[in-house]
Amino acid sequence: MAGVSGLATPWRLHAVLPRSAANGPGVRYVVWSQGCALNCPGCFNPETHSAPGPGLVRGVGEVADEALADAAHIEGVTLTGGEPLEQPAAVAAFCAEVRARSSLSVIVLTGFTRAEIEADPARSAAVADADLVVAGRYNARLRLARGLRGSSNKEYWTRTGRYTADDLAAVPELEITVADDATVTFTGMAAPGGEFFRGDRGHRGHR
Ligand code: SF4
């Protein structure tokens, strides 16, 4: 099937986890973008803030092809960070490609509020193909760390009927993944901070 435009767009990534059960309902392909200027006090992902920081630059089409190659074994894709919507063209192209070529669900976790997204054409386009957007700054005083919300002020913006509140409440709070190279990755809303094992790579849910 023909894909969408924008697949050559470079995308700054912090990391990718091909299969995760703690970043939305079901098993999901998860992309952590690199770069976030929102600076929420208490953010547990500071290593994702620097735009040129750790990570790599990949083409949107390459990342989409990788996710779609596993489509028979996953429920959907989740985009988190860092701040995905600081690279709206890449996010829009990726989500559109996934939507065009599969029935995978799309979840975007962002520090921008729904109002901030709706006021900006590029950000609006970036979430146009999302089933669910988890929107708003992390607020450490309102820490929740359940479902897909790091703090209770964050909004579940359901854009389709794909997921219910019960689906989101059932998302595991913590997942520990051991890769073939012995890299241990913590992820999920309740992942412990700073606990990195061999391979010194750890990732968090969007806070
Ligand atoms: S919580 Fe999310 S939006 Fe806030 S500073 Fe951290 S990465 Fe950025």
pLDDT tens-digit series, residues 149-173: 999 999 999 999 999 999 999 999 8
Residue range 8-29: average pLDDT? 95
Task: Enumerate the domain spans of the chain.
Answer: 10-187
Interval between CA 111 and ligand 1 midpoint (Å): 6
Name which of 136, 142, 143, 154 is nearest 190 in CA terms: 143
| Topology of the domain comprising 10-187 | TIM Barrel (3.20.20)
* pLDDT for residue 205: 52
Q: Look at ligand 1, atom 4, and give the residue with the nearest C-alpha.
A: 40
CA distance 11 to 8: 9
* Closest-lying ligand 1 atom to the alpha carbon of residue 112: 3
Q: Which two tokens stand for residue 96?
A: 């559109």
Ligand 1 pocket check: which of 13, 14, 36, 86 to mutate, most ligand atoms within 8 Å of Cβ? 36
39-66 average pLDDT score: 90
Flag whether pLDDT at 198 surpasses 50: no
Closest of 141, 121, 147 to residue 206, by C-alpha: 147
